[in-house]
Amino acid sequence: MDPSLALDASVTICPRFMPNYASIYYLGLQRFVRADRIRYDRSGYSERRLAGRRGFSLVLSVGGSNVRIHFDPHDPSEPDMEMLAWCDVYGKVNVDTSVLPKEHAHKVVALGPGFGLRMWDTRTTMKHALLTLRALGTSSLRKSFEHLHFYRLQFDRGFEDWYAPGPSDPDYVFFTAWAWAKHPEVNPPRAEFIRIAKRLEGLHFEGGFAPRRRRRFASLDDITAPKLYPFFEYLSKMKRSCVAFNTPAVHQCLGWKLGEFLALGKAIISLPLSRELPSPLMHGEHIHYVSGDRAETLDALHRLRRDHAYRRRLESNARKYYEEYLSPSATVGRVLRAALS
């Protein structure tokens, strides 16, 4: 953390946000601003914003001035035009400069891929759930239960220190993901990778597409995982896996998996990325790009299994990239520097 950004400031947070989507930004904020200087208030936000869920909006008060900041973790590249006009700095995960209005483009900071983290223990989670609910002032029982449910969901995630990298096994690959019905273009490259890994001699593959209770994808039956993996088991198997496979997710977005793979320090085989990053992920240094061609993916998997020095270089640089650009401190520090410049 940059000590120069240890702020004598107060922060007022919009109480409408989803903890899983805001966790990296909230955790980062707590590392620069004292916890007793953070409060919730719905004042100044439109009913439309208060009905939203995934954005994380706040007003930073420092040195007698107020700076309005909005974090946008949404998958589509189009910005929230209302919040883009409202804020002074707009942090966005999925930045496509071609769709940004020129008059506001200078506000936008590329956040890079994030993922859900657990922020608090049970008691503190309940405290914040009730504080934000009271600040929202909703009288709807249904909306109140929905609000509390979003806080419960953070218990399905892990604390940041769970993402410490572990040793990889060159003869083991683990991959699992949901199959998408509304965005079927995501499925074929993942299916191809699973089939390649399952058939590769001398390689033990575990995982597959996550089984669904209601929607069955008959064409993927042969590569559907035998179970849903509990979160801690998922992380343990990903740490052991010699590679991680990444594709752009829905809307060509930078999915949670990419953020997780970088945090875990994995050797990543990835299809090309089209969204802006805080710094490029360089082929052969941080990541190994493939076009999606079967032979190319197979060659990449062979190389990363057998060229231990190359695999370790990608693993080390992936973790360094996370620490420099994507950790809570790095992400929020970058936004704060833009806000205070």
C-alpha to C-alpha distance for 288 and 12, rounded to whole angstroms: 41
- With cut-offs at 50, 70 and 90, classify the pLDDT of residue 153: very high
Three-state SS at 8: coil
For residue 134, what are the β-bridge partners?
A: none
Q: Is the pLDDT of residue 3 over 50?
A: no
Q: How many percent of the chain have pLDDT more than 70?
A: 98
**pLDDT on residue 52:** 84
pLDDT digit string, tens, across residues 57-87: 999 999 889 999 999 999 999 999 999 999 9
Q: Residue type for 205, please?
A: F
- With cut-offs at 50, 70 and 90, classify the pLDDT of residue 103: very high
Do residues 11 and 336 make contact, with C-beta atoms less than 8 angstroms apart? no
Q: How many percent of the chain have pLDDT more than 90?
A: 88
- With cut-offs at 50, 70 and 90, classify the pLDDT of residue 212: confident
Q: Is the pLDDT of residue 6 over 70?
A: no
Provide the CA 305 distance to its chain's centre, in angstroms.
Answer: 27
- What contacts 24+ positions apart, CB below 8 Å, involve 124-131? 125/19, 125/151, 125/154, 125/155, 126/151, 128/19, 131/15, 131/40
The predicted model gives 278-307 an average pLDDT of 97
Cα distances (angstroms) measured from residue 302 to each of 170, 269, 296, 297, 336: 10, 11, 10, 9, 43
Q: Which of 25-39, 149-163, 212-226 has the lowest mean pLDDT?
A: 212-226
Q: Residue type for 295, please?
A: A
Give the chain's mean pLDDT.
94
The predicted model gives 170-186 an average pLDDT of 90
The predicted model gives 20-47 an average pLDDT of 95
Q: Is the pLDDT of residue 214 over 80?
A: no
The CATH H-level superfamily of 162-326 is Glycogen Phosphorylase B; (3.40.50.2000)
- What contacts 24+ positions apart, CB below 8 Å, involve 206-210? 206/172, 206/173, 206/174, 206/237, 207/174, 207/175, 207/176, 207/237, 208/175, 208/176, 209/176, 209/177, 209/178, 209/179, 210/176, 210/177, 210/178, 210/179
**pLDDT on residue 87:** 97
Q: Is the pLDDT of residue 2 over 60?
A: no
Where exactly are the structural domains of the chain?
3-159+328-340, 162-326
**pLDDT on residue 167:** 97
Three-state SS at 146: helix
The predicted model gives 271-297 an average pLDDT of 97
The predicted model gives 295-317 an average pLDDT of 97
The predicted model gives 33-44 an average pLDDT of 94
Q: Is the pLDDT of residue 180 over 90?
A: no
- DSSP for 150-180, written as a single string: HHHGGGGS--GGGG-----BTTEEEEEEPPP
- With cut-offs at 50, 70 and 90, classify the pLDDT of residue 1: very low
The predicted model gives 183-193 an average pLDDT of 91
Q: For residue 275, which of 116, 111, 115 has the smallest C-alpha distance? A: 111
**pLDDT on residue 5:** 59
Residue written as token pair 């990296």: 24
